Chains A and B, each alone.
Chain A
């Protein structure tokens, strides 16, 4: 049984505070949906839990089964049972999926996994996610379509068997069929491993497949409302405006990147 407990978590990026006191507890066998307008801190929360060095935890605590996660380097967090299915998985040329996964599995075992067992498990993951059989021999995420990358994240989740899984918009880039395949694989793993799941998604259909037990809405770095699945449907039909009015919060607007003009870098303006 696993419990992820986050208390009063504050997180900054480049001195800008993104999370302003998050409190959240996820137990085994629970499926938590985390929703909210873009740019309000959902991905930041997952990245901070996993230990992405870009994010600085300024105060608060994260514990997994009573152990202080913040003291652990990224690989120790993974070995402790945390898994983050990323929104934009990295491409790693020269490293095959099988070499990568075998090393990752062996990193959490005392004795290396036998080749037979590894192939059996990899084949199962590939079958379950309906991926091409040559996945094992392809370089990690190189030349993968958006959907293939996301499915590959779930193959990794199945093979690493985490106690607590976080999925960051894993549904983006998936077509309708792939959405169902991924949701079924996550549900099956949750049942089999009694995994706790924290999933970030904007897509009600994906969340319908996953059948969350809890839902939270994160606005401006804080969880402003928590509830059951009914919250997902309310957001799906009414959007987030009602939350701003009802809870007196103002969603942070996503900053649009300004185009870089030649005059910005190539010339000095003189009056």
Chain B
């Protein structure tokens, strides 16, 4: 399936097959994609043409183990914000290939994954600056409960000749309970001078003082931990403009992390 968006747009698609979305020159808008169905792999491709300004939110709605491939290309002065929310109690292999192919291209990539017992969330994420004056940024968040498995390598690349480009990434993993395994590998491949590049990584248990503070206001340990984990999922929800959808997903997220267990 292929769709092209022009001018101003707002769309929501429930997907069960590969899709390619093209955002025309100087178009502006947002698309919500809910990917589910019976396939074991789905490929979502996005082409952001010159001067467009687009937000794409993808939710993993597969009830079984799945491989999700995201491909994105941003051209001259195109701005693409792309995020994946994965709260499923099933394994997920996520691949992301982002290409900044013309000057002024800007891709902001978000992933937020809930890792439950024995369900491995594996990621291989790449965002590459091919030409000068491009901007790549990755924000990867995960919350691992008892027995959760998270394993992601995120690589920002700036190739030879892509001077004055920027490549940044942050990875935050909150681990809770026991028997979880979290591996995060931030990589920067820089083959040019005069660039800006950075990475930040935190993996750890919730702060004991914070937990006590939340509990002192009546939250059970599970609710306190749930509330802390919501902070990790919220950035990706900021890609959704539609308030009703955002509220619905927030509620779903709150249920998933045990906030309603009174």
**Interface flag for B101 (CB, 8 Å):** no
- Chain A residue contacts of B207, Cβ below 8 A: 90
**Interface stretch (choices A94-102, A118-126, A225-233, A240-248):** A94-102
**Interface flag for B215 (CB, 8 Å):** yes
**Interface stretch (choices B22-30, B144-152, B191-199, B216-224):** B216-224
Total number of A-B contacts with CB less than 8 angstroms? Answer: 79
**Interface stretch (choices A1-9, A33-41, A78-86, A181-189):** A78-86
CB distance A104 to B217 under 8 Å?
Answer: yes
**Interface flag for A145 (CB, 8 Å):** no
CB distance A92 to B215 under 8 Å?
Answer: no
We find that the number of chain A residues with CB closer than 8 angstroms to chain B is: 33
**A237 CB, nearest partner CB in chain B, Å:** 35
CB distance B230 to A160 under 8 Å?
Answer: no
**Interface flag for A108 (CB, 8 Å):** yes
CB distance A74 to B227 under 8 Å?
Answer: no
- Chain A residue contacts of B214, Cβ below 8 A: 92, 100, 104
Alpha-carbon distance between A89 and B218 when the two chains are bound, in angstroms: 15
**Interface flag for A239 (CB, 8 Å):** no
Interface string of B213-248 (1 = CB under 8 A from A): 111111111011001101110100000000000000
CB distance B216 to A100 under 8 Å?
Answer: no
Most A CB contacts (10 A, CB to CB) among B213, B221, B223, B234 go to: B213
CB distance A78 to B215 under 8 Å?
Answer: yes
**Interface flag for A103 (CB, 8 Å):** yes
- Chain A residue contacts of B210, Cβ below 8 A: 90-92
**Interface flag for A65 (CB, 8 Å):** no
**Interface flag for A107 (CB, 8 Å):** yes
**B141 CB, nearest partner CB in chain A, Å:** 9
Alpha-carbon distance between A104 and B213 when the two chains are bound, in angstroms: 11
Q: Give the nearest-CB partner of B206 in chain A.
A: A92
Alpha-carbon distance between A77 and B216 when the two chains are bound, in angstroms: 8
- Chain A residue contacts of B219, Cβ below 8 A: 75, 103-104, 107
With A103-B259, A110-B262 known as contacts, the answer to whether A94 contacts B230 (CB < 8 A) is: yes
**Interface flag for A50 (CB, 8 Å):** yes
Pick the contact of A95: B209, B212, B230 (CB < 8 A): B230
Alpha-carbon distance between A64 and B234 when the two chains are bound, in angstroms: 38
CB distance B230 to A107 under 8 Å?
Answer: no
**Interface flag for A250 (CB, 8 Å):** no
Pick the contact of A107: B213, B223, B234 (CB < 8 A): B223
**Interface flag for A52 (CB, 8 Å):** yes
Pick the contact of B231: A95, A104, A107, A109 (CB < 8 A): A95
**A44 CB, nearest partner CB in chain B, Å:** 15
- Chain A residue contacts of B200, Cβ below 8 A: none
Alpha-carbon distance between A217 and B247 when the two chains are bound, in angstroms: 51
Pick the contact of B216: A74, A108, A139 (CB < 8 A): A74
CB distance A156 to B217 under 8 Å?
Answer: yes
**Interface flag for B208 (CB, 8 Å):** yes
Alpha-carbon distance between A50 and B228 when the two chains are bound, in angstroms: 21
- Chain A residue contacts of B259, Cβ below 8 A: 103
CB distance A78 to B231 under 8 Å?
Answer: no
List 13 other contacts, CB 8 Å, given A86-B213, A92-B213, A95-B230.
A75-B215, A75-B218, A75-B219, A78-B218, A92-B210, A94-B230, A95-B228, A100-B214, A101-B217, A103-B223, A103-B259, A108-B218, A112-B260
Interface pairs A-B: 5 shortest CB-CB: A94-B231, A90-B213, A78-B218, A74-B215, A104-B217
